[in-house]
Copies of this chain bind each other. A is one copy, B any other.
Amino acid sequence: MKFEPVTIKQMARDLNLGISTVSRALHDSHEISEETKKRVVAYAKKLNYIPNPIALSLREKRNKSIGIVISQFNNPFCSQVVHGMESSFYSQGYQVSIVQTDESAEKEMKAIQYLSFRVDGLLVSISSETKNIDHLKDLYEKGMPIVFYDRICADLQTHMTISDNYRGAYEATRHLLDQGCRRVAFVGGAVTQSIVQERKAGYLQALEDGGINVDPKWIHYLPKGGVHYVETEVAMDRLMRLPKNKRPDGLLTAWDKVTADAYRYLRRHDISMPGELALIGFSNFPLTDFVSPSLSVVQQQSEKLGEVAAGQLLSLLQSKRKPAKFHTEVLMPEIIIRESSSKLSSGEKEPLKVKNKD
């Protein structure tokens, strides 16, 4: 089966008219007789004629659409971000087309190449496997408006919107210390990801400020970024099998999926939270308030992040040339303290919210 759309040429033949006459009729030109105009419009409607946007693209070099490159929407944070982006573009008449990379560098390259000729701008969150972004750089130098969100890439100077990962991790780690934890572990996603590095930096600084000497055994990255449960499982096994005096009593997980899987691991192995291990993690999952024990999280402003990034892209789309200056917008995540990390008063209580300053 193949789609065979109605064309102007076809209609012109059917109506015994010139191609351009038909075109003009459909564009409501004045320089055409009322009669033929009506005849053409009626026929086009009958055949459900739609101008071929591919042909228009070729001519006008404009697609009226933008592309979003996402790692996996099988991640509430990502889907929330996309939702924030879409509303902005929709109101401006842009179509939004989304492509998943599944954390694969190869898929990412293909996805970007695919989108590049079909959209007017790109919102990109780099995959965790990606090392080489020459293809993106090249695209950018040829004039493609590109905005990074969430996971940035310092090699390419353009607008970006990110969370304050450093501070989110810093405050979360500090909270664990305040609760009496002295051996705080860190399980990140992929070592290559900007967000994981920023979060680790915040974690390390909080430990240093708290006068804690970090044991390198407390720090784990996950080879494939933590997409599968087993990765987190291996890291958790290593942590929990440390001799008792080295075993962590607190844990910061630095990626949504890892947080959920660490929680799953602890419940499966009957390791009590926060008694044996206090847990707080980056997560935008729903239902974290109803699991038992309820889960403390560092929650990003996902929708807002999407909106801000969308705004940046729209401004690039409208500007005549590459702007001289680029902005990096930073959003503060919310720290929501719940049972899984509350060692001091471990009974039920209202969750304490560290609200954003802005």
Contact = CB atoms under 8 A, between A and B. Distances in A.
Contact of A58 (B58, B107, B144): B58
Given A97-B97, A111-B95, A117 B52 contact: yes
Contacts of A322: 1
Contacts of A100: 82, 86, 96, 98
Contacts of A143: 1-4
Interface in A228-256: none
Contacts of A287: 260, 263, 285, 287-288, 291
Copies in the complex: 2
Given A54-B118, A118-B53, A139 B96 contact: no
Interface residues of A, number: 68
B110 A95 contact: yes
A329 interface: no
Contacts of A263: 287, 290
A85 to B, nearest CB: 10
A275 to B, nearest CB: 17
A195 interface: no
Interface of A: 1-6, 48, 50, 52-55, 57-58, 61-62, 65, 72-74, 76, 79-80, 82-83, 86, 90, 95-100, 102, 107, 110-111, 113-114, 116-118, 120-121, 135, 138-139, 142-145, 260, 263-264, 267, 285-288, 290-292, 316-317, 319-322
